[in-house]
Amino acid sequence: MQISSSSSSVFLSAKPRPSPLGSPVRIKSLYANTNTPNTNTTSGSSSNSMAAASPKWSQKTITLSPQRRGCHLITPKILKEIGQDLSGFKCGLAHLFLQHTSASLTINENYDSDVRDDTETFLNKIVPEGMSAPWKHTLEGPDDMPAHIKSSLLGCTLTIPITNGQLNMGTWQGIWLCEHRDLATARKVVVTLNGI
Amino acid sequence: MQISSSSSSVFLSAKPRPSPLGSPVRIKSLYANTNTPNTNTTSGSSSNSMAAASPKWSQKTITLSPQRRGCHLITPKILKEIGQDLSGFKCGLAHLFLQHTSASLTINENYDSDVRDDTETFLNKIVPEGMSAPWKHTLEGPDDMPAHIKSSLLGCTLTIPITNGQLNMGTWQGIWLCEHRDLATARKVVVTLNGI
Amino acid sequence: MQISSSSSSVFLSAKPRPSPLGSPVRIKSLYANTNTPNTNTTSGSSSNSMAAASPKWSQKTITLSPQRRGCHLITPKILKEIGQDLSGFKCGLAHLFLQHTSASLTINENYDSDVRDDTETFLNKIVPEGMSAPWKHTLEGPDDMPAHIKSSLLGCTLTIPITNGQLNMGTWQGIWLCEHRDLATARKVVVTLNGI
């Protein structure tokens, strides 16, 4: 296996130097020393000067309205909520946490909705539901135990890199909310941003 | 799809202001500027004043005693180990990393133990074991290769938001250790806390 | 369930004290107060003195050459790329993010390559492919929709603790790139390091 990586690096000091002409559009490597004293004790998330090189945290709970059972592309909704906050981070991580056990978060293709339908088909195929299913936990309906299993298969948590104020996903990647219940309620996602 | 989010924000300066009367109990959005100089070079994790707004890291290796094959709720054990450290973080992330390839960590329902039993039933149903299984890797016993597969299906790592000194999970969410071996040994979890 | 954890703690002040004789080789618990003023505004990632206790971020995009369909151990390749950066962190987290929807990252056994082959066998067994598969999304080839499903089952993102300049994985753990396409292209992984 051959491996290659970009060799361009940007060393962030407290006050980022302007990029030289011809520098790559995308910052590939960042190193930050955040020890710089700063007498400004007011806070904010959008400064592009010294504050940009100091660690910041942002946390917000987003409520998604009830969705039909199946897989849903929610990148636009998430970006609408956190886009402005994201713009304050040169480098960091965005963490999404779904506070439920019968739905899930995953990253997959953002273009053809058939991919989302086929994924729902697959989940229903491997997790038995109804009379023939072997579940003991049936009090909350025939779709509840399958929903719990699907939630653990795909997971309820995602971490995505932030680069230059944006989620640094691949061209075809999107964030999916997978709703595994027939009669779903609203779903809460805790979004935590951390970076410089 | 409609979306809504809390509009309450708390901007943390170095010395957090007391909450006004009527403010929401739960902090929904935090922004921190941690550039404030501080001449106190002694460290600690429980201060609620200036230190509370500076980035902190805590890392600990927890050893869980051997468990029978199946899914186990370990939230109380984890909290017993890290609860005091957690209380020093207003906003952050807790990362759990299981250092093994034949067990897994997942988040799922914390109430009815039947959900854990049914999840074990499901895992055994989709991953073949024994004479009819197609595995090449059989030297470590018939349950070993299935255990590796289950470990990758559920994963060995979790990241959970920290809000106001607590793991910010949903009401019904708990941390599970899923033991996939018949004769398990003790399991180690590296817990890393990071936040302000 | 019995639980035990190490009781050794290291409190990092701005200038780490030399370890006393007989101290454990592995630091089990770290707490850092990074409020210390530092007039050095130049940055770097390898200092072991004051800079070692201040939060740092490093981000790099690694390109892996095309791999045959199946599971591949990539720990050596990843370490070759980030090993030097890692050495600058006493405590932190390494985040890997695969920017694709038809391959995946997982952590599993690093020794017997049969485990990787068997995992590929399992994935092909549970995700139907070819004429009998029920997929609507078929325009990109018979292996494309199965690849998307496998990507969500294993996931495209990993977070691994950093301890004393190294990835703190278990003895038998390794990082796998699972390639789910027959004719794969190069794959990009965004690696983000954060810590002190």
What are C124-128's contacts with CB under 8 Å, separation 24+?
C125/B128, C125/B134, C126/A126, C126/B126, C127/A122, C127/C153, C128/A125
- Cβ C29 vs Cβ C49: under 8 Å: no
Token digits for C14? 């701005």
Do the interacting molecules here have an ipTM over 0.85?
Answer: no
Check: CB of residue B28 under 8 Å from CB of residue A61: yes
Paired with A61 in beta bridges are: A190
Residues composing chain A: 196
**Position with higher pLDDT, B167 vs B41:** B167
Residue ranges matching CATH 2.60.120.460 in chain C: 57-195
What is the C-alpha to C-alpha distance for residues B55 and B193, in angstroms, rounded to an integer?
A: 10
| CA–CA gap between residue A104 and residue A176 (Å, rounded) | 8
A165 Ramachandran zone, left/alpha/beta (phi>0; psi -120 to 50)? left
Query: What pLDDT is recorded for position A2?
Result: 45
CB-CB under 8 Å, C192 with A13:
no
pLDDT cut 90: percent of chain A above it: 71
B139 secondary structure, DSSP code: T
Q: Would you say the C-alpha torsion B174, B180, B186, B192 has a positive or negative sign?
A: negative
The C residues from 123 to 162 touching A (CB cutoff 8 Å) are 126-128, 134-137, 139, 145, 148-149, 151-153, 155-157, 159
| pLDDT bucket at B105, cuts 50 / 70 / 90 | very high
User: Based on C-alpha coordinates, what's the Rg of chain B?
Assistant: 21
Where is average pLDDT lowest: B160-164, B169-173, C39-43? C39-43
Would you call B58 and C153 a contact, using CB atoms and an 8 Å cutoff? no
Res A53: pLDDT: 58
Inter-chain touch C44–A31, beta carbons under 8 Å: yes
- Is pLDDT larger for residue A99 or for residue B26? A99
Q: What is the DSSP letter of C15?
A: S
HEC secondary structure over chain A: CCEEECCCCEEECCCCCCCCCCCCCCCCCEEECCCCCCCCCCCCCCCCCHHHHCCEEEEEEEEECCCCCEEEECHHHHHHHHHHHHCCCCEEEEEEEECCCCEEEEEEECCCHHHHHHHHHHHHHHCCCCCCCCCCCCCCCCCHHHHHHHHHHHCCEEEEEEECCEECCCCCEEEEEEECCCCCCCEEEEEEEEEC
Selected residue with higher pLDDT from B35 and A25: B35
CB < 8 Å to B4, chain A:
62-63, 65
Give pLDDT, residue C53: 59
Residues of C (18-77) whose Cβ lies below 8 Å from B? 26-37, 55
C-alpha distance from A54 to closest chain B C-alpha (Å): 6
Superfamily of segment(s) A56-129+137-195: YjbQ-like (2.60.120.460)
Q: Which of A30, A35, A161 sits opposite C40 (nearest CB)?
A: A35
Q: Do A194 and C192 touch (CB under 8 A)?
A: no
pLDDT tens digits, one per residue of C15-71: 333 333 333 223 334 444 343 333 332 233 332 233 335 889 999 999 999 999 999
Q: Residue B140: pLDDT above 70?
A: yes
- Closest Cα in chain C, distance from residue B149 (Å): 6
Do the Cβ atoms of B137 and C160 come within 8 Å? no
Residues A114-150 have pLDDT tens digits of: 999 999 999 999 999 999 999 999 999 999 999 999 9
pLDDT at B100 over 90: yes
B56-195 — its CATH code? Answer: 2.60.120.460
More confident residue, C29 or B192: B192
CATH of C57-195, one of 2.60.120.460, 3.50.50.60, 2.40.50.140, 3.10.20.740: 2.60.120.460
Residues A41-82: tens digit of each pLDDT:
223 333 223 233 588 999 999 999 999 999 999 999 999 999
8 Å CB contact between A43 and A55: no
Per-residue pLDDT, A163: 98
| Average per-residue pLDDT for chain A | 80
The C-alpha atoms of residue B122 and residue C45 are separated, in whole angstroms, by 46
**C94 Cβ neighbours under 8 A, 6+ residues apart:** C82, C86, C159, C160, C161, C162, C167, C191, C192, C193
Taking the CA of residue B140 and the nearest CA in chain A, the distance in Å comes to 25
Per the listing, tokens 């944006």 go with: A166
Instruction: Summarize the confidence of residues C71-93 as an average pLDDT.
Output: 97
pLDDT tens column, C93-144: 999 999 999 999 999 999 999 999 999 999 999 999 999 999 999 999 999 9
* B27, B33, B155 ranked by CB distance to A43: nearest: B33
Distance CA A89, CA A95 (A): 14
- Specify which residues C130 forms β-bridges with: none
> Is the CB of A148 less than 8 angstroms away from the CB of B35?
no
Least confident of A169-178, B43-52, C95-104: B43-52
- Read off the amino acid at residue C60: K
- Residue B17 or C78, more confident: C78
Q: Taking the CB of residue A133, how many other CB atoms lie within 10 A of it?
A: 15
Question: From edge to edge, which strands make up the β-sheet containing B56-64?
Answer: B166-167, B157-163, B91-98, B187-195, B56-64, C3-5
pLDDT of residue C6: 41
- Amino acid present at A83: G
Whole-model pTM over 0.95: no
Provide the mean pLDDT of chain B: 80
Closest approach of chain C CAs to the CA of A42, in angstroms? Answer: 16
- Tell me what the mean pLDDT of segment A168-179 comes to: 98
Domain limits, CATH 2.60.120.460, in chain B: 56-195
Q: CB-CB: which of B33, B115, B119 is closest to A51? A: B33
Please tell me if residue C194 touches chain A, with a CB cutoff of 8 Å: yes
